Structure formats: structure tokens, C-alpha cells
């Protein structure tokens, strides 16, 4: 009976990202303590995320290759928006993600230096003969091809960053989210150090929340997005920060 209940909880989380302990207790007509034990066991098996008062869906971290061909025209459009706000005297930081792979193809050579923690972005810039490119190094997160950890974060301190361009897996109200705290720390560091910070997000990433909230929209300069964003979403998210399209 316990196994069936736990399997049902996982199936339910495919449709809803969160359930409270109290709600699950009422659904299964068992004690809240029983539900808490179920959640603990499911989290130990890496199937869910235990949260105070409830349980959240465990989101799969997609590899770069799995995300590479999604929404390519929108990512290229964002690259052209990004290019318009880069100045010739700017030192820029570029985060990791497939949005940057397509966006960076749209930028010209009018900048002072580019710093990135992404192997994919670094290789792309090299292949296109960009100048003054710096790779942070550090601990490699293989699924996404980016460097994280103390070494990667420490290198940012040595640079006078004018503009930081950052990635996200989803934006939900004020929250900027990603799949893991390890992937977020270097971006938070860039937000702190840069004179201006911009999050790149195509229309599919709005009203979606990944596992971990790493910052909020009121702490960045603007969102860079595409021309597919609905009027409803433009009005909603313009409350929290500037949108550049």
C-alpha cells in the first residue's frame, strides 16, 4: 500500500509541481506523519524535493544537446537585442546555456573583453575569431558544459564587469530560477559585481519555475526577450523589471 501511494504521489506531481502534506494526507486518508515519511523516502531515492510543509516535483536537468535546437529563431532574435546594448568599451560576462550559443552568433566585435564560464560559448567565440575572450575554469558541470565553484567565482573579482548577461530555465513572477544552486552562484556573483545585469529568456520560459530560485527580477537591470511574448505577459512582467525586445 505504501509503494502504491508513493507511486501515485510521483504521478500526481507530473501534473502539479507542488502538494502540501495536509493535502496529500486528505487525499490518501492517512496521517500527515505517514505522508512525511513517504516524502522522505522519495527524496532519498532522488525522485522528489522535500519542502517545508510539502513536496515539489523533481525536475530533470536537460543536457545542452537536448536543449540546443529549441526555439532557435527566438534565441537568435535575443542575440540581436543583446548586440544593441553592448558598447565598444564594455567588459561583459556571458553565462552558460543554449540561448547564448545562438545569441552570441548575432553579436559583433564592438566590446572590450568577454568573460564566460561556458565551454560552448568560449569555443563558439573562438571559432568566430572574437578577441579578448576569457574562460573562468573551475569545476565542470558536464550536463551543461559550464564551470562552477569557488575558482570560477573568484575569477570574476579580477574583472571590472560593465554588463553581465545571464541565463535562466524559467521565470515565475519575480523569481529567476534554475535547476541547481551550483549553477546559480556564479550568476549571482556576476549580478553583484556588474554595473548592469540582464537575463536572457525567450517566451517559453515565462510563467515557468524550475527547482531553485537564485535571484529576483527587481535585482537586475532588464529582461532581454523575443518578439513572441504575449501582451499579457509583457504587462505582467513589466511590473517587476524593464523588458527589452
146 contacts 119 by C-beta, under 8 angstroms = yes
Give the span between the Cα atoms of 20 and 17, in whole angstroms: 11
Give the span between the Cα atoms of 185 and 214, in whole angstroms: 8
Q: Are residues 47 and 75 in the same domain?
A: no
Mean pLDDT of 197-208: 92
pLDDT of residue 181: 87
pLDDT of residue 195: 98
Count other C-beta atoms under 10 Å from residue 129's C-beta.
Answer: 7
How many domains in the chain?
2
Residue-wise pLDDT tens digits, 211-238: 789 999 999 999 999 999 989 999 999 9
Q: What is the CATH number of the domain that holds 203?
A: 3.40.50.1360
pLDDT of residue 86: 98
Q: Are residues 92 and 185 in the same domain?
A: yes
Residue-wise pLDDT tens digits, 67-123: 667 789 999 999 999 999 999 999 999 999 889 999 999 999 999 999 999 999 999
pTM of this prediction exceeds 0.85: no
pLDDT of residue 17: 79
Neighbour-count burial of 202, counting CB atoms closer than 10 A to its CB (0-12 exposed, 13-18 middle, 19+ buried): buried
198 contacts 172 by C-beta, under 8 angstroms = no
pLDDT above 70 coverage of the chain, percent:
96
pLDDT above 90 coverage of the chain, percent:
69
Q: Are residues 53 and 31 in the same domain?
A: yes
Mean pLDDT of 45-50: 80
Bridge partners (DSSP) listed for residue 95 = none
Average pLDDT, the chain: 91
**pLDDT confidence bin for 209, thresholds 50/70/90:** confident
**Residue at a domain's end among 40, 57, 74:** 57
Q: Are residues 195 and 120 in the same domain?
A: yes
**Residue at a domain's end among 57, 86, 102:** 57
Q: Are residues 116 and 27 in the same domain?
A: no
Residue-wise pLDDT tens digits, 145-162: 999 999 999 999 999 999
Q: Are residues 95 and 143 in the same domain?
A: yes
Q: Are residues 75 and 123 in the same domain?
A: yes
**Of 134, 191, 142, the residue nearest 158 (C-alpha):** 134
**Residue at a domain's end among 34, 57, 80:** 57
Give the span between the Cα atoms of 92 and 81, in whole angstroms: 15
Q: Which residues contact 104 (CB under 8 A, 6 or more apart)?
A: 79, 94, 121, 124, 125, 128
Q: Are residues 82 and 146 in the same domain?
A: yes
pLDDT of residue 30: 94
Q: Are residues 52 and 71 in the same domain?
A: no
Q: Are residues 36 and 73 in the same domain?
A: no
* Rounded (5°) CA angle 147-91-89: 165
Indicate the angle between helix axes 32-44 and 21-28, nearest 10 degrees. 110
Q: What is the CATH number of the domain that holds 12?
A: 1.10.10.10
Q: Are residues 32 and 125 in the same domain?
A: no
Mean pLDDT of 172-191: 92
Q: Is the pLDDT reported for residue 46 higher than 80?
A: no
Q: Are residues 226 and 151 in the same domain?
A: yes
Q: Which domain holds residue 21?
A: 2-57
pLDDT of residue 65: 56
**pLDDT confidence bin for 56, thresholds 50/70/90:** confident
Amino acid at each position: 500500500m505504501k509503494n502504491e501511494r508513493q507511486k501515485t504521489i510521483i504521478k500526481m506531481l507530473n501534473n502539479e509541481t507542488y502538494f502540501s502534506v495536509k493535502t496529500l494526507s486528505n487525499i490518501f486518508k492517512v496521517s500527515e506523519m505517514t505522508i512525511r515519511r513517504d516524502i522522505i523516502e522519495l527524496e532519498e531515492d532522488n525522485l522528489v524535493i522535500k519542502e517545508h510543509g510539502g513536496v515539489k516535483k523533481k525536475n530533470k536537468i536537460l543536457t545542452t544537446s537536448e536543449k540546443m535546437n529549441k526555439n532557435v529563431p527566438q534565441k537568435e532574435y535575443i542575440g540581436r537585442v543583446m548586440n544593441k546594448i553592448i558598447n565598444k568599451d564594455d567588459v561583459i560576462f556571458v553565462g552558460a546555456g543554449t540561448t547564448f550559443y545562438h545569441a552570441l552568433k548575432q553579436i559583433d566585435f564592438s566590446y572590450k573583453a568577454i568573460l564566460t564560464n561556458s565551454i560552448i560559448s568560449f569555443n563558439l567565440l573562438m571559432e568566430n575569431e572574437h578577441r579578448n575572450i576569457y574562460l573562468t575554469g573551475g569545476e565542470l558541470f558536464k550536463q551543461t558544459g559550464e564551470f562552477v565553484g569557488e575558482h570560477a567565482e573568484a575569477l570574476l573579482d579580477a574583472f571590472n564587469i560593465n554588463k553581465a548577461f545571464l541565463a535562466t530555465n524559467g521565470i515565475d513572477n519575480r523569481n529567476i530560477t534554475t535547476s541547481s544552486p551550483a549553477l546559480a552562484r556564479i550568476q549571482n556573483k556576476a549580478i553583484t559585481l556588474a554595473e548592469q545585469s540582464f537575463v536572457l529568456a525567450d517566451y517559453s520560459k515565462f510563467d515557468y519555475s524550475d527547482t531553485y530560485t537564485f535571484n529576483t527580477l527587481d535585482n537586475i537591470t532588464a529582461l532581454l526577450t523575443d518578439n513572441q511574448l504575449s501582451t499579457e505577459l509583457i504587462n505582467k512582467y513589466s511590473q517587476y523589471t524593464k523588458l527589452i525586445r
